[in-house]
Amino acid sequence: MAKVKISPLISDQNELLEKINELEHSLNYQKKLNKALKQHNQHLKKTLERTIAIMIKIAEMKDPYTVGHQVRVSQLATAIAKRMNLSEKKVESIRIASLIHDIGKVSVPSEILNKPGRLTNSEYALVKTHPEIFYKYIKDIDFPVKVADIILQHHERINGSGYPKGLKDDQILLEAKIVGVADVVESMNSKRPYRDALGMDKALDEISRNDGELYDPEVVEVCKKLLRENGFKFEKVGNNHPY
Ligand SMILES: [Fe+2]
Protein backbone atom coordinates (compact mmCIF):
# COMPACT_ATOMS: atom_id res chain seq x y z
CA MET A 1 0.00 0.00 0.00
CA ALA A 2 1.35 3.37 -1.00
CA LYS A 3 2.34 5.74 1.79
CA VAL A 4 0.17 8.84 2.13
CA LYS A 5 2.27 11.96 1.98
CA ILE A 6 1.07 15.29 3.21
CA SER A 7 1.66 17.47 0.27
CA PRO A 8 3.38 20.80 1.01
CA LEU A 9 0.68 22.33 -1.24
CA ILE A 10 -2.09 21.20 1.15
CA SER A 11 -0.13 22.45 4.11
CA ASP A 12 0.31 25.81 2.32
CA GLN A 13 -3.40 25.84 1.57
CA ASN A 14 -4.19 25.36 5.23
CA GLU A 15 -1.86 28.15 6.09
CA LEU A 16 -3.52 30.24 3.45
CA LEU A 17 -6.97 29.45 4.86
CA GLU A 18 -5.75 30.43 8.29
CA LYS A 19 -4.40 33.70 6.96
CA ILE A 20 -7.67 34.39 5.13
CA ASN A 21 -9.52 33.72 8.37
CA GLU A 22 -7.26 36.08 10.27
CA LEU A 23 -7.67 38.73 7.61
CA GLU A 24 -11.44 38.35 7.71
CA HIS A 25 -11.40 38.79 11.49
CA SER A 26 -9.17 41.79 11.19
CA LEU A 27 -11.41 43.31 8.47
CA ASN A 28 -14.50 42.74 10.62
CA TYR A 29 -12.72 44.32 13.55
CA GLN A 30 -11.72 47.29 11.36
CA LYS A 31 -15.33 47.65 10.16
CA LYS A 32 -16.58 47.64 13.75
CA LEU A 33 -13.92 50.17 14.70
CA ASN A 34 -14.87 52.46 11.79
CA LYS A 35 -18.54 52.21 12.72
CA ALA A 36 -17.77 53.10 16.35
CA LEU A 37 -15.59 56.01 15.23
CA LYS A 38 -18.32 57.29 12.91
CA GLN A 39 -20.87 57.12 15.73
CA HIS A 40 -18.46 58.90 18.06
CA ASN A 41 -17.87 61.68 15.49
CA GLN A 42 -21.61 62.08 14.94
CA HIS A 43 -22.08 62.34 18.68
CA LEU A 44 -19.32 64.97 18.92
CA LYS A 45 -20.87 66.94 16.05
CA LYS A 46 -24.29 66.86 17.75
CA THR A 47 -22.73 67.99 21.03
CA LEU A 48 -20.94 70.85 19.26
CA GLU A 49 -24.17 71.96 17.53
CA ARG A 50 -26.10 71.83 20.84
CA THR A 51 -23.34 73.81 22.58
CA ILE A 52 -23.44 76.42 19.80
CA ALA A 53 -27.25 76.59 20.07
CA ILE A 54 -27.02 77.19 23.83
CA MET A 55 -24.36 79.88 23.39
CA ILE A 56 -26.57 81.63 20.84
CA LYS A 57 -29.58 81.54 23.17
CA ILE A 58 -27.55 83.01 26.05
CA ALA A 59 -26.27 85.83 23.81
CA GLU A 60 -29.78 86.55 22.55
CA MET A 61 -31.14 86.79 26.10
CA LYS A 62 -28.67 89.59 26.69
CA ASP A 63 -29.24 91.31 23.37
CA PRO A 64 -32.78 90.54 22.16
CA TYR A 65 -32.44 92.84 19.15
CA THR A 66 -29.97 90.43 17.65
CA VAL A 67 -32.23 87.35 17.90
CA GLY A 68 -31.58 85.37 14.75
CA HIS A 69 -28.81 87.73 13.60
CA GLN A 70 -25.94 85.27 13.90
CA VAL A 71 -27.95 82.45 12.31
CA ARG A 72 -28.91 84.64 9.35
CA VAL A 73 -25.31 85.89 8.96
CA SER A 74 -24.24 82.26 8.94
CA GLN A 75 -26.79 81.42 6.22
CA LEU A 76 -25.56 84.24 3.96
CA ALA A 77 -21.84 83.81 4.71
CA THR A 78 -22.04 80.06 4.04
CA ALA A 79 -23.88 80.67 0.76
CA ILE A 80 -21.21 83.19 -0.33
CA ALA A 81 -18.41 80.75 0.61
CA LYS A 82 -20.04 77.91 -1.35
CA ARG A 83 -20.58 80.19 -4.34
CA MET A 84 -16.88 81.09 -4.22
CA ASN A 85 -16.07 77.37 -4.36
CA LEU A 86 -14.14 77.37 -1.10
CA SER A 87 -13.16 74.00 0.32
CA GLU A 88 -15.63 72.10 2.49
CA LYS A 89 -13.39 72.74 5.51
CA LYS A 90 -13.41 76.52 4.92
CA VAL A 91 -17.16 76.58 4.37
CA GLU A 92 -17.64 74.71 7.65
CA SER A 93 -15.40 77.07 9.60
CA ILE A 94 -17.26 80.06 8.12
CA ARG A 95 -20.58 78.45 9.10
CA ILE A 96 -19.49 77.86 12.70
CA ALA A 97 -17.65 81.18 13.13
CA SER A 98 -20.56 83.26 11.89
CA LEU A 99 -23.02 81.38 14.14
CA ILE A 100 -21.10 82.62 17.18
CA HIS A 101 -19.29 85.74 15.88
CA ASP A 102 -20.98 88.18 18.28
CA ILE A 103 -21.09 86.06 21.46
CA GLY A 104 -18.40 88.33 23.00
CA LYS A 105 -21.16 90.96 23.32
CA VAL A 106 -22.34 89.17 26.48
CA SER A 107 -19.53 91.06 28.20
CA VAL A 108 -21.00 94.42 27.14
CA PRO A 109 -23.65 95.90 29.50
CA SER A 110 -27.24 95.43 28.24
CA GLU A 111 -27.97 99.17 28.60
CA ILE A 112 -25.31 99.83 25.98
CA LEU A 113 -26.39 97.00 23.64
CA ASN A 114 -30.03 98.07 23.83
CA LYS A 115 -29.46 101.83 23.92
CA PRO A 116 -31.92 103.50 21.59
CA GLY A 117 -29.72 106.52 20.93
CA ARG A 118 -26.23 107.09 19.62
CA LEU A 119 -23.42 105.50 21.63
CA THR A 120 -20.79 107.70 23.31
CA ASN A 121 -17.16 107.11 22.37
CA SER A 122 -16.50 105.13 25.54
CA GLU A 123 -19.63 103.00 25.02
CA TYR A 124 -18.63 102.28 21.45
CA ALA A 125 -15.12 101.40 22.65
CA LEU A 126 -16.69 98.79 24.95
CA VAL A 127 -18.79 97.30 22.13
CA LYS A 128 -15.64 97.06 20.01
CA THR A 129 -14.04 94.71 22.52
CA HIS A 130 -16.46 91.87 21.64
CA PRO A 131 -14.37 90.09 18.97
CA GLU A 132 -11.29 89.92 21.22
CA ILE A 133 -13.20 88.92 24.33
CA PHE A 134 -14.68 85.81 22.72
CA TYR A 135 -11.45 85.05 20.84
CA LYS A 136 -9.62 84.69 24.15
CA TYR A 137 -12.15 82.09 25.32
CA ILE A 138 -12.17 79.95 22.22
CA LYS A 139 -8.70 80.27 20.73
CA ASP A 140 -7.59 76.99 22.31
CA ILE A 141 -10.63 74.96 21.26
CA ASP A 142 -9.80 72.44 18.58
CA PHE A 143 -12.34 73.67 16.01
CA PRO A 144 -12.00 72.44 12.40
CA VAL A 145 -9.94 75.46 11.28
CA LYS A 146 -9.45 79.12 12.11
CA VAL A 147 -12.85 79.66 13.76
CA ALA A 148 -11.34 81.83 16.51
CA ASP A 149 -9.38 83.96 14.01
CA ILE A 150 -12.44 84.51 11.81
CA ILE A 151 -14.35 85.75 14.87
CA LEU A 152 -11.45 87.99 15.91
CA GLN A 153 -11.28 89.56 12.43
CA HIS A 154 -14.95 89.93 11.45
CA HIS A 155 -14.89 93.74 11.96
CA GLU A 156 -11.56 94.30 10.21
CA ARG A 157 -11.81 96.28 6.96
CA ILE A 158 -9.46 96.09 4.00
CA ASN A 159 -8.32 99.75 4.21
CA GLY A 160 -7.24 99.20 7.82
CA SER A 161 -10.11 101.20 9.37
CA GLY A 162 -11.65 98.20 11.15
CA TYR A 163 -11.07 96.77 14.60
CA PRO A 164 -9.64 95.39 16.87
CA LYS A 165 -6.23 95.46 15.17
CA GLY A 166 -6.74 97.67 12.12
CA LEU A 167 -5.54 94.86 9.82
CA LYS A 168 -5.29 95.53 6.07
CA ASP A 169 -6.36 93.55 3.03
CA ASP A 170 -3.78 90.73 2.89
CA GLN A 171 -3.64 90.43 6.65
CA ILE A 172 -7.34 89.59 6.89
CA LEU A 173 -8.54 86.03 6.30
CA LEU A 174 -10.84 85.64 3.30
CA GLU A 175 -13.21 83.79 5.65
CA ALA A 176 -13.38 86.86 7.93
CA LYS A 177 -13.99 89.16 4.94
CA ILE A 178 -16.95 86.96 3.96
CA VAL A 179 -18.43 86.99 7.48
CA GLY A 180 -17.84 90.78 7.63
CA VAL A 181 -19.86 91.44 4.46
CA ALA A 182 -22.67 89.05 5.48
CA ASP A 183 -22.74 90.73 8.92
CA VAL A 184 -23.15 94.23 7.45
CA VAL A 185 -25.84 93.15 4.99
CA GLU A 186 -27.87 91.27 7.61
CA SER A 187 -27.52 94.03 10.23
CA MET A 188 -28.65 96.80 7.86
CA ASN A 189 -31.58 94.66 6.78
CA SER A 190 -32.75 94.22 10.40
CA LYS A 191 -34.21 96.50 13.06
CA ARG A 192 -31.87 97.79 15.76
CA PRO A 193 -32.65 99.62 19.06
CA TYR A 194 -31.43 102.87 17.52
CA ARG A 195 -33.04 102.56 14.05
CA ASP A 196 -35.58 100.70 11.91
CA ALA A 197 -34.51 98.12 9.36
CA LEU A 198 -32.88 99.93 6.43
CA GLY A 199 -33.78 97.28 3.85
CA MET A 200 -31.83 95.14 1.43
CA ASP A 201 -31.37 97.87 -1.21
CA LYS A 202 -29.56 100.12 1.27
CA ALA A 203 -27.50 97.19 2.53
CA LEU A 204 -26.38 96.31 -0.98
CA ASP A 205 -25.75 99.98 -1.72
CA GLU A 206 -23.48 100.18 1.35
CA ILE A 207 -21.30 97.23 0.27
CA SER A 208 -21.22 98.47 -3.36
CA ARG A 209 -20.15 102.02 -2.40
CA ASN A 210 -17.35 100.66 -0.22
CA ASP A 211 -16.34 97.85 -2.53
CA GLY A 212 -12.51 97.69 -2.55
CA GLU A 213 -12.31 100.24 0.27
CA LEU A 214 -13.88 98.46 3.23
CA TYR A 215 -15.02 95.21 1.67
CA ASP A 216 -13.37 92.64 -0.56
CA PRO A 217 -14.53 93.18 -4.19
CA GLU A 218 -14.98 89.49 -4.99
CA VAL A 219 -16.99 88.88 -1.82
CA VAL A 220 -19.16 91.92 -2.59
CA GLU A 221 -19.76 90.76 -6.16
CA VAL A 222 -20.75 87.24 -5.11
CA CYS A 223 -22.98 88.56 -2.31
CA LYS A 224 -24.80 90.95 -4.67
CA LYS A 225 -25.29 88.20 -7.26
CA LEU A 226 -26.68 85.84 -4.63
CA LEU A 227 -29.19 88.38 -3.38
CA ARG A 228 -30.14 90.05 -6.66
CA GLU A 229 -29.90 87.31 -9.25
CA ASN A 230 -29.83 83.93 -7.52
CA GLY A 231 -32.81 84.53 -5.27
CA PHE A 232 -31.01 83.96 -1.97
CA LYS A 233 -33.50 84.21 0.91
CA PHE A 234 -32.80 84.07 4.62
CA GLU A 235 -34.40 80.98 6.13
CA LYS A 236 -36.89 81.69 8.88
CA VAL A 237 -35.32 81.38 12.33
CA GLY A 238 -38.01 80.04 14.63
CA ASN A 239 -38.85 77.48 17.27
CA ASN A 240 -38.34 74.56 14.93
CA HIS A 241 -34.93 75.82 13.88
CA PRO A 242 -31.96 74.08 15.54
CA TYR A 243 -30.66 77.46 16.63
FE1 LIG B 1 -19.65 91.81 15.64
Residues 24-81: pLDDT tens digits?
Answer: 989 999 999 999 999 998 998 888 888 888 888 888 888 877 778 999 999 999 999 9
C-alpha 23 – ligand 1 centre gap (Å)? 55
Domain ranges of the chain: 63-228
| Domain range 63-228, its CATH number among 3.40.50.620, 3.90.950.10, 1.10.357.10, 1.10.3210.10 | 1.10.3210.10
C-alpha 240 – ligand 1 centre gap (Å)? 25
C-alpha 62 – ligand 1 centre gap (Å)? 14
Q: What is the pLDDT of residue 145?
A: 67
Say if CB 218 and CB 80 are below 8 A apart.
Answer: no
C-alpha 155 – ligand 1 centre gap (Å)? 6
- The larger pLDDT score, comparing residue 10 to residue 58, is at 58
Query: Is residue 11 scored above 70 in pLDDT?
Result: no
Task: Please enumerate in sequence order all residues whose Cβ is within 8 A of that of 243, keeping only pairs 6 or more positions apart, or say none.
Answer: 52, 53, 56, 70, 71, 99, 237
Within 13 Å, how many C-alpha atoms sit on residue 183's CB side? Answer: 23
- Closest C-alpha among 94, 70, 73 to residue 82: 94
C-alpha 14 – ligand 1 centre gap (Å)? 69
Q: Band of the pLDDT at 202, cuts 50, 70, 90?
A: very high
Give per-residue pLDDT as tens, 108-166: 998 898 888 889 999 999 999 999 999 998 888 877 668 999 999 999 999 999 999 99
Q: What is the pLDDT of residue 144?
A: 63
Residue 81, Cβ density class (10 Å: 0-12 exposed, 13-18 middle, ≥19 buried): buried
Give per-residue pLDDT as tens, 221-243: 999 999 988 888 888 776 545 55
C-alpha 241 – ligand 1 centre gap (Å)? 22
Q: What is the pLDDT of residue 127?
A: 92
Integer Cα distance of 233 and 226 in angstroms: 9
Q: What is the pLDDT of residue 240?
A: 47
C-alpha 6 – ligand 1 centre gap (Å)? 80
The average pLDDT across 95-120 equals 90
C-alpha 164 – ligand 1 centre gap (Å)? 11
C-alpha 13 – ligand 1 centre gap (Å)? 69
